[in-house]
């Protein structure tokens, strides 16, 4: 009984304490808070604003006059419509396959490049290779796709000149549905592997050289050193990068695919984000596309959390 | 140091492999450069790997430079790069300074809320409608404001600010400087290299951006160079380039190559000089992770 009586007094006191603490803190750091006002506003409006806009996914249609809360609520109908639609399996399959191949071929590429570069003894050679392999990173997506397009021209395009060498018929690469995935993934590797290798090189340079000395004394060759020192040394970096990558499994590179795809390749090139763009921005089905976007975001987020917690357990490496 | 035969074979193999990486990285660019100055008629006939230009002309470049769309695209891009990057730097510095102050009440909560936006967002359509409702569509602001802070770059900058000695800020406070003064007079001048990295990251992003302009711009006279190039390179509207009937199809292909070179050259020329900063930025990013 006594305790119960004391409790309210105690909490009000605490509250008062807290309030005066916040007041003091606000005064002491007022300029810092002032600086953070535009930052907080920015995130509220441009990051949390669209999240609030996700409510549209549960409405029949969006009316620019009535705003985000003015539509007719229809529960999960938009989601059902998507699951039942003809395109559902096609875009889910394409998104997952593209992502899977990107991880399978694209993810190891910068790691292998970094390992190879790390074995180079001549400094000038190493920095030349690095400089040149970063270059494609600075070319815009538009130009990369433009290059793909000119290279795959039937008459005199670079790719078809190569095909000619091997006595193969020229083909319109960007109009072939079977070529889309390969073109997408290999051009990504061409453009990004050098640049992405920087992070792994940074991790490699952080390995204690003493470990290598010790291994040499123990008679380990370069292969053994790679297996027992180098790889374990960069494993945390690899794991973190892989988690981030898994958290984006449902995101393919929207910018690039949109530029690359042509009507004949939709069967392999249509992914969630391009579908959202077409049905949302171009056809104006705002609420329906918002629902698809929400499914996408939720799956991504769930995958990220899963990958992170698995890696926390297995590897004690995690993002947070 | 003596090397075993096995190691020697490995070294040779490694050098060969990396040589191939260089060729693969560089060759497409060389091919484009050669094509852009080659004689259009020879270009069509030769069907070679073209290690050197076939013939020589600069007509394509003339046509590109005289094109008013490319000119206005260039100017617009310059505007987006300069104004956009300045706003990015200001906002990111404010966020990074504020949140690098360990003594700030509510810092952890704010950080959680900001980091969360890296992994989950409203997506394309709600963002599009938001920008529309704010009345930004078809204005230059639509390109500049919605991406004012990149959370990833902000984290890099915050890490860098956190490495500055705290006593510096404390002694400035004792001398009566307020936080704005501390940020602009002490912290930023001491962070020149991270500022360079941020400038380059943001500027390259603006230079290459086409999705924002595609979604939010309607008027052609606001289009940045990337949209103009998309029309030339991918939608294949070389006719609109004013190549004219007399020059015909052949020079049209040259114009495409010349456009690629002109739009890529500025960044390619600057890049070797600034490479070390890029690498430094990536290093800081890696350390953070």
Give A-chain residues touching B281 at CB under 8 angstroms: none
Q: Given a cut of 80, is residue A304 above it in pLDDT?
A: yes
Q: Given a cut of 50, is residue A106 above it in pLDDT?
A: yes
* Exposure on the CB side of residue A153, measured as CA atoms within 13 A: 18
**Contact: B15, A56; criterion CB under 8 Å:** no
Return d(Cα A96, Cα A278) in angstroms, integer: 19
Residue A38 has its nearest CB partner, among B94, B114, B125, at B94
Give A-chain residues touching B14 at CB under 8 angstroms: 116, 119-120
Give B-chain residues touching A277 at CB under 8 angstroms: 124
Q: Any idea which architecture B57-287 has in CATH?
A: Orthogonal Bundle (1.10)
* Exposure letters A274-284 (e unless 16+ CB within 10 A, then b): bbbbbbbbeee
Tell me the mean pLDDT in the region A118-124: 89
Residue B233 has its nearest CB partner, among A149, A221, A300, at A149
Return d(Cα B177, Cα A87) in angstroms, integer: 61
**Contact: A39, B230; criterion CB under 8 Å:** no
Tell me which residue has tokens 């400038």: B199
Structure confidence by residue, pLDDT tens digits, B156-168: 899 889 989 989 8
Q: Does A36 touch chain B (CB under 8 A)?
A: yes
Give A-chain residues touching B21 at CB under 8 angstroms: 113, 116, 129, 132-133, 194
**Contact: B234, A289; criterion CB under 8 Å:** no
Q: Does A221 touch chain B (CB under 8 A)?
A: yes
Q: Does A112 touch chain B (CB under 8 A)?
A: no
**Residue B60 near residue A8 (C-beta atoms within 8 A):** no
Give B-chain residues touching A66 at CB under 8 angstroms: none
CB pairs A-B closer than 8 Å: 261
Show the tokens assigned to B56: 């020589």
DSSP state of B134: T
Domain boundaries, chain B: 57-287
| Min Cα–Cα distance to chain A from B121, Å | 6
Q: Does the structure's ipTM exceed the value 0.90?
A: no
Show the tokens assigned to A83: 């699951």
pLDDT at A48: 96
Q: Does A320 touch chain B (CB under 8 A)?
A: yes
Q: Given a cut of 90, is residue A105 above it in pLDDT?
A: yes
Q: Write the CB contacts of B188 (distance below 8 Å, at least 6 apart in sequence).
A: B93, B195
- Chain B residue with CA closest to A140: the answer is B208
Q: Write the CB contacts of B191 (distance below 8 Å, at least 6 apart in sequence).
A: B157, B160, B161, B164
pLDDT at A10: 62
Return d(Cα B257, Cα B61) in angstroms, integer: 9
Predicted TM-score of the model (pTM): 0.87
The residue among B11, B125, B179, B227 with the most chain A CBs within 10 A of its CB, best to mutate, is B125
Return d(Cα B144, Cα B205) in angstroms, integer: 11
pLDDT at A272: 93
Tell me the mean pLDDT in the region A290-317: 89
Residue by residue, DSSP assigns A87-120 as THHHHHHHHHHHHHHIIIIITHHHHHHHHHHHT-
Return d(Cα A55, Cα A51) in angstroms, integer: 8
DSSP state of A62: -
DSSP state of A72: P
Among A150, A174, A140, smallest CA distance to B28 is for A150
Q: Which alpha helices (H) appear in chain A, and where do they start and end?
A: 2-28, 30-43, 49-53, 77-84, 88-101, 108-118, 123-134, 141-151, 158-165, 180-205, 209-217, 222-225, 231-246, 254-260, 266-269, 272-276, 286-315
**Contact: B234, A132; criterion CB under 8 Å:** no
* Exposure letters A202-221 (e unless 16+ CB within 10 A, then b): bbbeeeeeeeeeebeeeebe
Residue A31 has its nearest CB partner, among B48, B178, B210, at B178
pLDDT at B240: 46
Going residue by residue through chain B, which has 289 residues, state the pLDDT in tens, using 9 for 90 and above.
Answer: 566 787 788 889 999 999 999 999 999 988 888 888 887 777 666 666 677 777 788 888 888 888 888 889 999 999 999 999 999 999 999 999 999 988 888 899 999 999 999 999 999 999 999 999 999 999 999 999 999 999 989 998 998 899 899 898 889 989 988 999 999 999 999 998 889 889 988 998 999 899 999 999 999 999 999 999 888 888 765 444 444 444 445 567 788 888 889 888 887 787 777 777 777 766 666 554 4
**Contact: B130, A50; criterion CB under 8 Å:** yes
- Chain A residue with CA closest to B91: the answer is A39
Structure confidence by residue, pLDDT tens digits, B37-58: 887 777 666 666 677 777 788 8
A301 — pLDDT class (breaks 50, 70, 90): very high
Per the model's pLDDT, the better-predicted residue between A80 and B6 turns out to be: A80
Show the tokens assigned to B134: 């704010």
Please give the domain boundaries of chain A with CATH numbers for all domains.
2-58 (no CATH), 68-145+177-315 (1.10.3720.10)
pLDDT at B126: 94
- Chain A residue with CA closest to B212: the answer is A255
| Min Cα–Cα distance to chain A from B41, Å | 11
Beta bridge partners of A59: A73
* Exposure on the CB side of residue B172, measured as CA atoms within 13 A: 16
Q: Given a cut of 60, is residue A118 above it in pLDDT?
A: yes
Give A-chain residues touching B271 at CB under 8 angstroms: 134-135, 138
Burial of B68 (0-12, 13-18, 19+ CB in 10 A): exposed
| Min Cα–Cα distance to chain A from B198, Å | 15
Give B-chain residues touching A281 at CB under 8 angstroms: 124-125, 128, 215
Residue A156 has its nearest CB partner, among B15, B43, B229, at B43
Q: Write the CB contacts of A317 (distance below 8 Å, at least 6 apart in sequence).
A: A235, A236, A239, A240, A311
**Contact: B286, A149; criterion CB under 8 Å:** no
**Contact: A54, B133; criterion CB under 8 Å:** no
- Chain A residue with CA closest to B4: the answer is A221
Q: Given a cut of 80, is residue A8 above it in pLDDT?
A: no
A240 — pLDDT class (breaks 50, 70, 90): confident
Tell me the mean pLDDT in the region A252-281: 91
| Min Cα–Cα distance to chain B from A302, Å | 10
A121 — pLDDT class (breaks 50, 70, 90): confident
Return d(Cα A257, Cα A236) in angstroms, integer: 31
Helix, strand or coil, per DSSP, at residue B213: helix
pLDDT at A270: 93
Beta bridge partners of A73: A59
pLDDT at A149: 87
Residue A255 has its nearest CB partner, among B14, B91, B211, at B211
**Contact: B24, A240; criterion CB under 8 Å:** no
Q: Does A131 touch chain B (CB under 8 A)?
A: yes
Give B-chain residues touching A153 at CB under 8 angstroms: 253
**Contact: B98, A121; criterion CB under 8 Å:** no
Tell me the mean pLDDT in the region A271-287: 92
CA quadruple B119, A241, B188, B179: dihedral positive or negative? Answer: positive
Return d(Cα A308, Cα A242) in angstroms, integer: 10
Helix, strand or coil, per DSSP, at residue B117: helix
**Residue A294 near residue A57 (C-beta atoms within 8 A):** yes
- Chain A residue with CA closest to B213: the answer is A255
Q: Write the CB contacts of B26 (distance below 8 Å, at least 6 apart in sequence).
A: A132, A135
**Contact: A143, B31; criterion CB under 8 Å:** no
**Residue B232 near residue B36 (C-beta atoms within 8 A):** no
């Amino acid at each position: 009984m006594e305790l119960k009586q004391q409790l309210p007094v105690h909490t009000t006191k605490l509250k008062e304490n807290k309030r005066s603490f916040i007041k003091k803190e606000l005064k002491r750091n007022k300029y810092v808070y002032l600086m953070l006002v535009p930052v907080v506003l920015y995130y509220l409006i441009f990051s949390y604003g669209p999240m609030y806009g996700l409510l549209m996914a549960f409405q029949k249609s969006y009316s620019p006059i009535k705003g985000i809360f003015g539509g007719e609520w229809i529960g999960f109908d938009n989601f059902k419509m998507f699951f039942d639609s003809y395109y559902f399996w096609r875009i889910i399959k394409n998104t997952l396959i593209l992502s899977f191949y990107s991880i399978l071929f694209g993810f190891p590429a910068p790691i292998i490049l970094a390992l190879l570069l790390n074995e180079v003894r001549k400094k000038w050679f190493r920095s030349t290779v690095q400089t040149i392999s970063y270059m494609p990173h600075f070319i815009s997506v538009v130009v990369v796709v433009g290059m793909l397009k000119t290279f795959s021209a039937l008459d005199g395009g670079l790719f078809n000149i190569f095909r000619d060498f091997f006595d193969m018929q020229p083909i319109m690469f960007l109009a072939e549905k079977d070529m889309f995935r390969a073109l997408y993934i290999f051009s990504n590797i061409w453009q990004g592997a050098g640049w992405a290798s920087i992070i792994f090189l940074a991790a490699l340079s952080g390995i204690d050289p003493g470990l290598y000395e010790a291994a040499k004394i123990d008679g380990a060759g370069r292969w053994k050193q790679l297996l027992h020192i180098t790889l374990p040394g960069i494993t945390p970096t690899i794991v973190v990068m892989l988690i981030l990558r898994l958290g984006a499994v449902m995101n393919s590179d929207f910018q690039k695919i949109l530029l690359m795809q042509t009507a004949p390749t939709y069967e392999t090139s249509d992914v969630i984000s391009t579908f959202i763009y077409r049905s949302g921005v171009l056809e104006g089905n705002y609420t329906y596309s918002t629902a698809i976007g929400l499914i996408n975001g939720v799956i991504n987020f769930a995958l990220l959390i899963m990958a992170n917690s698995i890696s926390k357990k297995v590897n004690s490496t995690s993002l947070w | 140091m003596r090397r075993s035969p096995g190691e020697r074979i490995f070294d040779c193999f490694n050098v060969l492999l990396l040589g191939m990486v260089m060729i693969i990285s560089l060759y497409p660019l060389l091919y484009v450069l050669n094509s852009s100055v080659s004689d259009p008629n020879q270009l069509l006939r030769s069907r070679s790997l073209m290690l050197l230009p076939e013939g020589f002309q600069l007509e394509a470049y003339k046509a590109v430079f005289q094109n008013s769309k490319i000119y206005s695209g260039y100017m617009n891009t310059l505007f987006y790069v300069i104004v956009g990057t300045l706003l990015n730097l200001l906002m990111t510095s404010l966020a990074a300074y504020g949140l690098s102050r360990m003594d700030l009440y509510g810092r952890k909560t704010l950080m959680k809320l900001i980091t969360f936006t890296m992994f989950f967002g409203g997506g394309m359509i709600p963002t599009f409608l938001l920008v529309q409702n704010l009345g930004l569509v078809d204005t230059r602001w639509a390109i500049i404001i919605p991406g004012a802070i990149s959370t990833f770059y902000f984290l890099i900058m915050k890490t860098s600010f956190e490495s500055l000695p705290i006593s510096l800020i404390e002694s400035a406070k004792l001398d009566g400087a307020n936080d704005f003064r501390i940020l602009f007079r002490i912290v930023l001048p001491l962070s020149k290299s991270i500022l360079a990295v941020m400038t380059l990251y943001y500027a390259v992003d603006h230079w290459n951006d086409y999705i924002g302009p595609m979604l939010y711009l309607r008027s052609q006279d606001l289009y940045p160079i990337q949209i103009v190039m998309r029309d030339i390179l991918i939608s294949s509207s070389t006719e609109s380039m004013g190549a004219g009937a007399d020059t015909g199809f052949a020079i049209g292909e040259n114009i495409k190559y010349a456009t690629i070179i002109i739009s890529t050259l500025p960044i390619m020329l600057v890049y070797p000089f600034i490479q070390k900063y890029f690498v430094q930025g990536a290093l800081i990013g890696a350390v953070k992770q």
